[in-house]
Structures are given as structure tokens and as C-alpha cells.
A and B are shown apart, each in its own frame.
Chain A
Amino acid sequence: MAQPAVALPAPRAQTISIQRSAVLMTLLLGIVAFLVLAPLTLMLLSSFQLARPGQPAVYSLAGWQTAFTDRSILNALLNTFGLSVVREGIALVAGVLLAWLIARTDLIGKHVLEFVFWIAFFLPPLPIAMGWILLLDGQFGLINQWFVSVFGVAPFSIYSFWGIVWVHLTTTIGVKVLLLAPAFRNLDAALEESSRSCGVTTLGTLRRIVVPLMAPAILVATVLGLIRSLDAYEIELLLGSPIRLFVYSTKIRDLVTFEPPQYAPASALGSVLLVVLLLLVALQRLYLRKRVYRTVSGRGFSTRVLSLGRWRWLIFTGVALIAVTISVLPVAVLVMGTFMRAFGYFNIPNPWTTEHWQRVLTDPVLVRSFQNTLVVGFGSAIIGTALYAVIAYVIVKTHFAARGLLDLLSWLPWAIPGILMGLALLWTVFDTPFLLPLYGTIWVLVLALVIKSMPLGVQLTKSVLLQLGDELEEASRIAGGSWFTTYRRVVLPLLAPTLITVAVVGFMSAARDISTIVLLGSGQSRTLALLALDFAYGGQFEKATVVSVLTVAMVIVAALLARALGGRVSIGSSQ
């Protein structure tokens, strides 16, 4: 009844650690807020002022006036919208179907096929676009040449609306499969089987049960894909410019590279898109809030695969065809192109040559660009992944009061088109004394890419953390593990495959990024991708293919390396 009368050891106040973590989280919020909001604010400000960076400000509404009255800007917006809707619609249906086939059926060779889609995800858009130019160019495109020799007409033109959609599709289906296949795999098979037992067919079950259950994952994949495609730059630049088909990003480039540069209307155009994208993000968050996400706990669950029966070979052929078309085909043609004296001209004397390779490989510019790519890639991947893991953890697993804000901030960079992000960052560097020393170095590129990859990195990490039941951590805490021990021994090992994926994605985006860094990279800090674009846009198409092949090779080697590392970790966790 009574309290024990024994003198108790004075309780140590434990509130300090709570306060310390709050301080650290607030600091994190501050850093993210600065990285994300400063460029955004400066972009908005720059839409109201006419002077160049570093010069006295001149404020005016002229930029907005131009943005809303110029017909070509409106056309660019319409083109952007049309292209996005068409390609995302197609890619979504294809992506869901392919991911489901790979994850939940006995598709022949599904591991190899998933691997091919996985590779396709990493292929940079520029080399792929160049590969398709070699195949579908109105004159020298190989497929068109074949049609001419058989039917007498060249049916395709890569320089068109559908040409752009096509090249985009080949680069975005891989994203969908990569994002959706794991989610399909984590779906309890009993949910599908109970639908089958109610008399619903396989396809009906996919439509009525699987897709609705997957809705959150599908939505994330769609919004990511849509926003990412809005950031597309090099595909439209190469394929749209010749036919005067502009999208907003190429239009912005047009305005910025105009002499004198039209920063104000460019920023105004960017701000309009920003608002649209913010709305999209808000809608998505509203939707996801109503959905229960936590499906995976420490308990095992069944993931049986479905038999495709007599359709196996037909479906396999179809999927394999898609896989080859979006990966092997354009790359193979590109490699072939590097050895041709002139693209597609087989009838000239000595059509084959190694001259392009010799010329490029002996170029000191290439060696420098190669080094730059490695530094930028590894730098942004390592710094980024560490930052994203912490951000995602704070958002998902803590009670930090401002975690919603942090979530929102980590999302925002999607809304900043690469080229405007570059411009905005340039102004940020000028206006921030402690960042000024970075100007002209490749560390500005690293900074830009860390911000650029933040949404995908945080989202990927978050989605895995969300599926990790709290009890796994609580079990460690109650067993005597401190927060740090728990993070190191329970969270990190379970998260490791994801973090490696995030790092790979970070490296890849860095190695292939063009739009974000094109304004920040000087001649000295050019990466291979920038070099390839300079060659391609400058008419040195043969040189561009050689550099592009190098980029592709680097990306694939790094991807394989990461897969080997990540594979070992995930084997430890699954078997």
C-alpha cells in the first residue's frame, strides 16, 4: 500500500536527450529549408526583376506580361501538357502490367527481364534519343531505310510529337517497373486469392483488388514520372527544336540563352509550372493521407506466384520485345553508330572507321570531363544518401512537430525545372557569402544534384520505412538498445538495399543530368553528359555518340556494381 520507504537513487533527468534530438531535427529542417526555399524564392523574385545576376535590381512586371501574352510560350505550355499526359498514360498502363507480370506471375525469365528494365531505368535519355535518331530519322534511320527498300516509303519521323513521346516512353517504363515491382511483391497473395475464390478472373482481380490496393504506390510512381517528364530537356531539345516544337523547358532555355537573356519571363514561366506542380503534390498528399500504408510487419506473409498457363510463351515474347526495344536496341545502334564514317550511309566506300574513337579518346577535355563525372557522381550520391536517410527517418519515425513541413520541403525540388534550378542556384551562390567560394567549382554541381535527387531519394527511403512496422524498432529499444544502436543494428540493415538503390540512383542522375547543371558547369567543370550535349547540339554528332557510349558504359558498370553490393545485403535479409 505505502510507498517503499527506502531512499531511491536520484533519477537522472532524461529530458536532455529529447531536447538534443529536437535541436538536431530543427537544424536539419533549417538546412533543407535553405537548400530548397532559397532557390525557389530567388526564382520567384527574379521573375519580377530585369537585371542580370550580380547587377543592381530593376523591378518590373514585364516578365509576367511576356509570359502570359507571348503565343509561343502558351504553345510551349500546351505542348508540355499534351506530351506529358499521353506518355504518362501509356507508361502507367504498361508499367503496372509489366511490374505485376514480373512480380506475381511465373513469367519465363522474369529475373532477366526485370534486370533489363532495371538497366533501362538508368540509361541516360540523351544516348537513347540519339539511338532512336539513328533508327527513325526520316532519311538515314535504319528502320526507315528498311521500309523504303521494301515498301518504297519512310513511315516514321523521329522529329515529331510522337517521336518525342516514343523516346520518353522508352526511358520512363523502366522507372515504373523499378518502382512498382517491389510494391507488388510486398502484397499479400491471400488478398488476390480471396478474390479469385469469389469467382473473379486473373485480370479482373488485377483490376479490382490489386490495382486499388496498390493505388498509393501507383500514384507515387505516376506523380514521380509525370513531374520527372516535365523536367525533360535534352529529348525535346534534340527532337523538338528542329521542327520548332517547344516545351516549357526548351522555351526557358531559349529565353535564357537569348541575347540579352530574358530571365524574367523564363522565371515567370517556371513559377507558373511551380504552382501547377505544387497543386499536384498537395492533391497526392491529401489522397495518401486517407490510405493505410503499413502492411508489412515482422510476421511472414505469403507471396505465391500466379501461373500464366498456355499464354506463357506469348506473354514472354511480348515482354521480352518491350524490354529489348527500350534498352538493347537503341544502345546497340548507338555503338554501331560510333564506328560509322557517316550515320546510316552504308553505301559509301569504307563506311566503318575507328576515327571518332581515336579523336575523342585523345582529347584532354574528355579525360577532365570523365574525372568531373566521377567526382560529381560519387559526391552527390554519398552526401545525398546520408542526408535523405536522415530526412526520411525523421519524417516517418519521429514525432518531430515540423515533420510535415520537412516532408513538403523535401518534395519541392521536383517542382523546380532543372534549368531554373541551375539559374536559381547561381543566384543563390552569388547572394550567399559562404557559398561564393564554391562558384565555378564542381561542388556547385554536387550541391545542385543533391537537391535535385532529394525527392526521389527521400521518397524511396520513406516508402520502405513506412512499411517497416514500429514494433521492430520498439523491440530493440525495450531490449536495451539505444536509439543509435537501434538505428545501426535494426533500421540500417533493413534499409541498406534501399539506400544502395538510392545512392545508385543519385550517381546515375548525376552522371546523366544535363538540365540542372548546364548553367552551372563551366568549361572546366563539364561532365561527360554535358560534353555529349555540346557535341550533339553543336553538330558533331559522331563525337557525341562516342561520349554518350562512354556515359552509358559508366552508368551500366556502376549499376552492376551496386547491384552486386545491394544483392548481397538483400540476400542476408530475405533468406
Chain B
Amino acid sequence: MTGSALDARNLVKRFGRVTAVDEVSFTVDEGEVLTLLGPSGCGKTTTLRMVAGFEKPDAGEIDIAGRTVYSAARRIAVQPEKRALGMVFQSYAIWPHMTVFENVAYPLTVRRVSAGEIKEKVYQTLELVGLRGFEERSAMALSGGQQQRVALARALVYSPRILLLDEPLSNLDAKLRGQMRIELKRLQERVNVTVLFVTHDQVEAMSLSTRLAVMNHGKIEQVGTPQEIYEQPATPYVEDFIGHVLRFSGGVVERGLDAVLVEVDGASGTRLRAENSDDALAAGDRVFAAIRPEDLELHPAGEGPRQNTIRAVVEKVLYLGSECELLLRFEGVVYSLVVSRALISRLGTDVELHLPPEHLRVWSESRRQGTRTEPQVTETVAVATSPASAVVAGSGA
């Protein structure tokens, strides 16, 4: 393993009585994109700003390329300008009194690079971000997307050790955001720069990251590749925050060697077998079983398998174009499921949901705290964006 580009250890930051960042540790390897992902207020931006040097951690240490730039214990605090970082701000922070050229040239100018070299490098970098020919424009005469490219060029022009991105796409409109996301990925691979990326958008996080760290309440809940995070969530919070999930509350009936038997709350007395659980559970424990919508099978009433199947009532069908959204009621809770239009015609007022044991995961009820708040008191809404298995199972022929 090569030395990490960034090593943050046990970072703590308090604002008054609120602990914004609580014992956060992570490393970023050379050439890697590490994303700090979480809702607003989870401490991801504060963590980024501590790496940049704009916030002083109350405890912990930060190494950049093997050099300690901050240590609370050893009283080391390297100024932001001495950390050799590049950063793109949420507002882009393009200086309004400078031209595009002057903005991008700034990091080189303050490093006293020769005029010839500045010109060469600025042109090169502007070429890279697709802004050649804009050099003499006033920065304020640019569109949002162009301003962002200027900010990116300014951050990259002097080949920083690490590129810090603070929600760089959040101020763009959706179409441009998608475009810039792809471009950003390409650019990162081309210049092979190490990136620490902060976002609340899971699509950005999943598609751009080598690894991502999911943050909640100032702590990192899980670090892993996008696939690990999605397929093996370490906490119910991570499972819920990334992608969509349907949840059923119940109690443990039996704890087997490789599976848990859960009786779902309510009059139906449905029992579910689940093969995934990391928690130490015993009979009688309160739990909830969770499944991603694309993993479940949807059948017309009476046609589903006998085991691990619940029967729900179709409350409403919402037409979405290529797909339809089904609102299903089960034991007083409304679940939402997006399915293909073709399937709808085959469904009656009742449906059966088969929850394959290998995809069902059981969490202890006590771990529920800290997960995303429910949209409404009695409703759990989950949206299956691509319910392939449901379509296959339903078409049956």
C-alpha cells in the first residue's frame, strides 16, 4: 500500500455545545476519490474545512502527503495556503474583479511563477476544462456552469496534492449537473488527482467515488466502495440513506444459525425468514426487516410463493409515464413501489409481495434511531426505481 495522500485521525470539532464532528478518521489514497456523503448538518463540510485549514479541530491530527499539517496535541497548525490544496467552493468564489485568466493564474502568480509559464499553464488548464478563448472575459459575465469550470481550473492549475470539492454541483441545474458529473469524472481520471469530495447527493457520490464515507451526526457510519456500501450496509442508517428500502416491524420468533425468523406486527401474523443480520438477536427482540424494492417480487393475489410472502392492498396507482407508482397498504402502513405499466393490468385490488430470504436483512429496533425520519407518522414510502425482478416475477408466463 502506497502512502496515503490524506490521513485524518480522530478529528473533533465543537461549536459551542454542539459537537459537529465527533472522532472522525479516514484516509484518502493517491489518485483516489473519497466522498464524504451525508445529509446537511452531518459534519461533512466541517470535516472538509478542517482539512483545508479553515476550521481548527478541537482534537485530532491531519497529515497531507505524509506531513502533519494539523495536530492539536503537538500544537501544529499549518496555514491553508501552505497545505498545497486546491478547492472548488459551493459558490465557486470567482473573484469578480478579475478576468478568467487572472482568476486561474492567481495560484501561480502568488507562487511567483514566471509569466511565460503562467500563460502556458493557464491556457493548458482552460483547455482542459473547455474554456479556451474565455481568458479575457470578466468572471462575472459567465454562466453558472462556466464559473464552475473556472473554479475547477483555478483549483487544478498548480497541480495540488489534493483537490477538495465542496458540493460543487449543487448550484447547477439538473441537466448541467449530470453533464458536469460525467465531465468531472473524466477530468479526474485524466489528471489523476486525489479528490476529497463532499456532497449530499447519492447519485454524485456513487458515480464519482472510489470509496465513500457515509456520515451522520458528526460520525462516519461506514467507509467502503459504492458497491460495498449499497450491498452490505453496516447500519440501518446507511441502508436507508443510500438507495431505497421497505421496512417491516416485528419481533424475533426464532434465531437460527444462518437465518432469523421474524413475526411481522399486526393481525396477519405473517412470518418472514431473513438470512442477513449482523446484530446479536434473541427470540423476543424487537426488530425490523428491510429489503430493497428491486429485490422483491410482486405477484397478483394467490400467485406468489407460500413462504416469505405478505399480502397487501392496492390503494392507488399513479401514472408516471413509462412506469406506474403503486401505493400498497399493509398492516396500516403505506408502501410505495414503482413498477412497469404492463404489470399493472395483471394486478387486482390485492397483491402479494415475495421477500426472498437472501435479500431480507434484519436490524435490531434499537438501532433505528439516527435513521432518516419517516416522511409521515404512519407511512413508509420507498420508491423502486427499477423493479426488474418484480416485473419478471409478475409476468410469470
Which residues does A use to contact B, with CB under 8 Å?
A: 1, 3-4, 6, 8-9, 11-15, 17-18, 297-300, 469, 471-472, 474-483, 485, 489-490, 493-494, 572-575
Contact = CB atoms under 8 A, between A and B. Distances in A.
Interface string B67-103: 1110100111111111111110111111111000000
A479 B79 contact: no
B224 interface: no
Nearest to B96: A573
B89 A475 contact: yes
Contacts of A297: 91, 93
A488 to B, nearest CB: 10
Given A8-B68, A17-B79, A477-B79, A494 B107 contact: no
A298 B92 contact: yes
Interface string B137-148: 010101010010
A494 to B, nearest CB: 6
14 contacts: A3-B7, A17-B79, A297-B93, A298-B89, A298-B91, A472-B95, A474-B54, A477-B79, A478-B80, A478-B83, A478-B85, A493-B97, A574-B96, A575-B138
Contacts of A1: 1
Nearest to A5: B3
Contacts of B97: 493-494, 572-573
Given A471-B91, A479-B81, 18 more contacts: A3-B7, A12-B78, A298-B89, A299-B144, A299-B147, A300-B140, A471-B90, A471-B93, A475-B93, A476-B110, A477-B54, A477-B79, A478-B53, A478-B87, A479-B158, A481-B106, A482-B110, A490-B95
Contact of A15 (B3, B75, B83, B91): B75
A11 B82 contact: no
Contacts of A299: 91-92, 144, 147, 171
A406 B90 CA distance: 31
Chain B CB within 10 A, most for which of A6, A477, A478: A478
B93 A482 contact: no
B67 A9 contact: yes
Contacts of A477: 53-54, 79-81
Contacts of A3: 7
Given A298-B91, A493-B97, A482 B79 contact: yes
B81 A298 contact: no
Nearest to B69: A11
A217 B367 CA distance: 49
A575 B67 CA distance: 43
A14 B76 contact: yes
Contacts of A574: 96, 140
B164 interface: yes
B106 A479 contact: yes
A172 to B, nearest CB: 32
Contacts of B175: none
Interface residues of B, number: 49
A298 B74 CA distance: 36
Interface in B323-355: none
A274 B181 CA distance: 59
B76 A4 contact: no
B3 A4 contact: yes
B75 A298 contact: no
A386 to B, nearest CB: 21
Please provide the 7 A-B residue pairs with the shortest distance between their CB atoms, ordered closest to farther. A471-B93, A479-B107, A475-B93, A297-B91, A477-B80, A573-B97, A4-B3
B17 interface: no
A4 B66 contact: yes
A422 B42 CA distance: 55
A476 B76 contact: no
B81 A480 contact: yes
Given A8-B66, A474-B87, A478-B164, A298 B93 contact: yes
B292 interface: no
Chain B CB within 10 A, most for which of A6, A471, A483, A494: A471
B164 to A, nearest CB: 7
Contact of B96 (A8, A9, A17, A494): A494
A474 B75 contact: no
Interface string B156-169: 00100000100000
B224 to A, nearest CB: 16
B78 to A, nearest CB: 5
Given A494-B97, A574-B140, A11 B86 contact: no
B111 interface: yes
B89 A18 contact: no
Nearest to B151: A475
A244 B269 CA distance: 96
Nearest to A469: B91
A572 B155 CA distance: 24
A472 B67 CA distance: 27
A474 B52 contact: yes
B200 interface: no
B211 interface: no
A226 to B, nearest CB: 34
B154 interface: yes
Contacts of B93: 297-298, 469, 471-472, 474-475
Chain A CB within 10 A, most for which of B80, B138, B147: B80
B94 A11 contact: no
A471 B89 contact: yes
Interface string B37-76: 0000000000000001110000000000011110100111
A13 to B, nearest CB: 7
Contacts of A481: 81, 106, 110
B94 A6 contact: no
B87 A475 contact: yes
A14 B87 contact: no
B140 A11 contact: no
Contacts of B147: 298-300
B91 A479 contact: no
A9 B138 CA distance: 42
B76 A482 contact: no
B151 to A, nearest CB: 8
Chain B CB within 10 A, most for which of A9, A12, A300: A300
B138 A479 contact: no
B47 to A, nearest CB: 15
A298 B97 CA distance: 10
Contacts of B7: 3
Contacts of A575: 138
Interface in B234-280: none
Contacts of A573: 96-97
A480 B67 contact: no
B339 to A, nearest CB: 38
A553 to B, nearest CB: 34
Given A471-B89, A477-B79, A478-B87, A298 B94 contact: yes
Chain A CB within 10 A, most for which of B84, B89, B142: B89
A474 B89 contact: yes
A299 B142 CA distance: 9
Contacts of A4: 3, 66
A91 B362 CA distance: 70
A573 B71 CA distance: 40
A133 B78 CA distance: 66
B234 to A, nearest CB: 19
Nearest to A492: B97
A571 to B, nearest CB: 10
A216 B68 CA distance: 44
Contacts of B85: 478
A557 B334 CA distance: 76
Contacts of B90: 471
A3 B68 CA distance: 12
B148 to A, nearest CB: 10
B212 to A, nearest CB: 19
Contacts of A490: 95
